[in-house]
Amino acid sequence: MATAASKPRGRLVGVGVGPGDPELVTRQALRVLAESDRVVAPSSAVDAVGRAEAIVRQASPELRMERLVFDMTADGAQGGRGAREASHRAAAHALLPWLDDGEQVAFVTLGDPNIYSTFSSLTAAVRCLRPAMDIGTVPGIMAFQALAAEAGAVLLDGTESLALVTALDGPEALEAAIADPTRAIVVYKGGRHVPEIAASLSRAGRLDGALMGELLGLPGERIGPLAQLSTGPATYLATVIVPPRARGGPGRAAREWRGLGAGPGGRPIEGEDG
C-alpha cells in the first residue's frame, strides 16, 4: 500500500511559449514539454485551438496536448470575475487526479507564465486544494521584447526605467508613467483603447517614437508607429512600446524607429522614410 511518504509527487509547470513565433519557444520549454507526462493548453472551448496551443503545434508538431477550457470574459464585463474564478477552480479540479497520481503536468501559456498569465490564477486555485503542490515555471519571451526586436529598438539604456502598465479600461493607468520622461512605457491589454492611448501620448509629447505590435508572430500581425496604427481599436493581443522622452532631441529610440512604417498589410517597410 502506498504510504504518504512513498506516494509519487506530482508537479505542475507553467511553460512560457513566447508571443507567437514558434522560433521564440525556448529549448528549455521544448525539453520540459517533451519530458512532461501531460501537456495542457488553455482554450475558450473544447473545440477551439488556443494561441499557446497553436504556437506549440508549430514548434513541436508531434507533441500531444489536451485542452483546459477557461472563461475568457473580460475583467470589466458583467459577472466576468466570478465566471473566470469558477473556471480556474474547475481547471484545478480537472488537473488534480493527474497531479495526485504523480504526473508532471505542463501548462503552456503565452509569453511568460509569471506576467499577467492565467497560470498564476490556476496555481492559486491548485494551492487551495493542495497547499504543498510542487509548482514551477519555465520563462518565456514576452510580446514587448519581440516588438522591440522587430523594430530594432533599444527600449532601455543607462539608468532609464520601465513601466509595464495595462489599459484594459482605458489610458488612465498610463498617466503616472507618461509624466516621468525617463521612463519607457509598455502598454498591455490596451487594444480596445488604442486611439485614446495615442491621444494621451500625443498630449504629453510622447507619441513620436511609440510603436504598436498586434498579433506578433501570429496570422494578422501588424507592426508600425502607433501614430499610424491608432485610427481604430486593435485586438486584445496588441502591445504598445514608448521610449523615454529624456534621451535628448527626438530621442534615440525615436530616431531608430523612424525607419519603421506600416506597409499595406500592416507589415513594416524598413527605411520607408528614413
Ligand X SMILES: C[S@@+](CC[C@H](N)C(=O)[O-])C[C@H]1O[C@@H](n2cnc3c(N)ncnc32)[C@H](O)[C@@H]1O
Binding site for ligand X (CB under 6 A): 19-20, 110-112, 115-117, 142-143, 188-189, 213-218, 236-239
**CA 228, CA 31: separation in Å to the nearest integer?**
40
Whether the CB-CB separation of 105 and 94 falls below 8 Å is answered with no
Which residues are CB-contacts of 272 (< 8 A; sequence separation ≥ 6)?
A: 259, 260, 261
Please state, as a whole number, how many other Cβ atoms lie within 10 Å of the Cβ of residue 179.
10
Q: For residues 72 and 254, which CB has a smaller minimum distance to ligand X in the complex?
A: 72
Please state the closest distance from residue 75 (CB atom) to ligand X, in A. 10
Q: For residues 30 and 211, which CB has a smaller minimum distance to ligand X in the complex?
A: 211
Which residues are CB-contacts of 241 (< 8 A; sequence separation ≥ 6)?
A: 144, 147, 148, 151, 153, 155, 184, 185, 186, 187, 210, 211, 213
Please state the closest distance from residue 40 (CB atom) to ligand X, in A. 16
Q: For residues 73 and 130, which CB has a smaller minimum distance to ligand X in the complex?
A: 73
Please state the closest distance from residue 171 (CB atom) to ligand X, in A. 14
Please state the closest distance from residue 127 (CB atom) to ligand X, in A. 19
Q: For residues 75 and 101, which CB has a smaller minimum distance to ligand X in the complex?
A: 75
**Hey, what's the cell of 151?**
523594430
Cα(first)–Cα(last) distance of the chain, in Å?
73
In the bound state, the residue with its beta carbon closest to ligand X is: 111
Please state the closest distance from residue 133 (CB atom) to ligand X, in A. 21
Q: For residues 151 and 247, which CB has a smaller minimum distance to ligand X in the complex?
A: 151
